[in-house]
Amino acid sequence: MQNSHIIRDFDQAIAALRAEVLGMAAKARFNLERAVQALLERNTELANAVIADDDDVDDAERKIDQLGLDLLVRYHPVATDLRLVISSMKISMNLERISDHATNIAKRAKKMAANQELPDATLIEPLYTLADHLLRDAISSYSDRNAELGASLHARDKELDRMYKAATATYGGRLEQSTGRSEDYLHLILVSRSLERVGDLATNIGEDAVFLDNARDLRHESNRSLEQGG
């Protein structure tokens, strides 16, 4: 926990930025949850709500960029404060893309709801569960400044990749065999793809949280040890 800044407004600006990121993260995660729920429960109304609420997430991204820019212009933050501004702005970009994927899933949920129910849709559920856990932990790694948790996401995302490949293989097989349901199987393949991308974006957020916590840049590194210079 850092000491208070001599300028109280600075602490308030930092707190406002952090709160906005966490609020945006909650919205993006809620959108993803409802999009998958809309798909599984064939709930068009819920899908419409997700599509409409994506605007709030876009607004949050703009607001975070503005708050970050104001902080840089007014206070020239350094060290942890600077890393917080940079990581917050990068995380908001990833959250916006996660919410876009939720919107894509919601749009496909609406299209699938117009057709007859497809039992294979439930295969999506374990993918969503893991993607949501990765997202939840990514957000925690930022809010708790937990570099260890943030760095762990890369390895866990590999499991999501494996599940995605298995799901697309299954849906691809059904697509070849099916008569008249190929469009729905295509939707499910693309929904799986969106969930796999959410895992990648959550991993990015985890890497930003590592940068925030200890200034390490883990991106594109084969050795992801948290030791300095590792």
Q: Which residues bind another protein (CB under 8 A)?
A: 2-7, 10, 75-83, 214-215
Instruction: Enter the tokens of residue 142.
Output: 């930022």
How many other CB atoms are there within 10 angstroms of residue 110's CB atom? 19
Q: How far is the CB of 47 from another protein (least distance, A)?
A: 44
Q: Are 132 and 32 in contact (CB under 8 A)?
A: yes
For residues 178 and 214, which CB has a smaller minimum distance to another protein in the complex?
Answer: 214
Q: How far is the CB of 78 from another protein (least distance, A)?
A: 5
Q: How far is the CB of 132 from another protein (least distance, A)?
A: 32
Q: How far is the CB of 151 from another protein (least distance, A)?
A: 16
Q: For 12-16, which contacts have Cβ atoms below 8 Å and span 24 or more sequence positions?
A: 13/67, 13/70, 13/71, 13/74, 13/75, 14/71, 14/77, 14/81, 14/84, 16/67
For residues 82 and 190, which CB has a smaller minimum distance to another protein in the complex?
Answer: 82
For residues 4 and 222, which CB has a smaller minimum distance to another protein in the complex?
Answer: 4
For residue 32, how many C-alpha atoms fall within 13 Å in the half-sphere facing its CB? 34
What's the rounded Cα separation, in Å, for the pair 39 and 129? 14
For residues 127 and 210, which CB has a smaller minimum distance to another protein in the complex?
Answer: 210
For residues 78 and 114, which CB has a smaller minimum distance to another protein in the complex?
Answer: 78
For residues 79 and 114, which CB has a smaller minimum distance to another protein in the complex?
Answer: 79
Planar angle of CA 28, 111, 29, nearest 5 degrees: 10
* Closest to 137 (Cα-Cα) out of 220, 210, 190, 59: 210
Query: H helices then E strands: how many in the chain?
Result: 6, 0
Q: How far is the CB of 75 from another protein (least distance, A)?
A: 8
Q: How far is the CB of 81 from another protein (least distance, A)?
A: 5
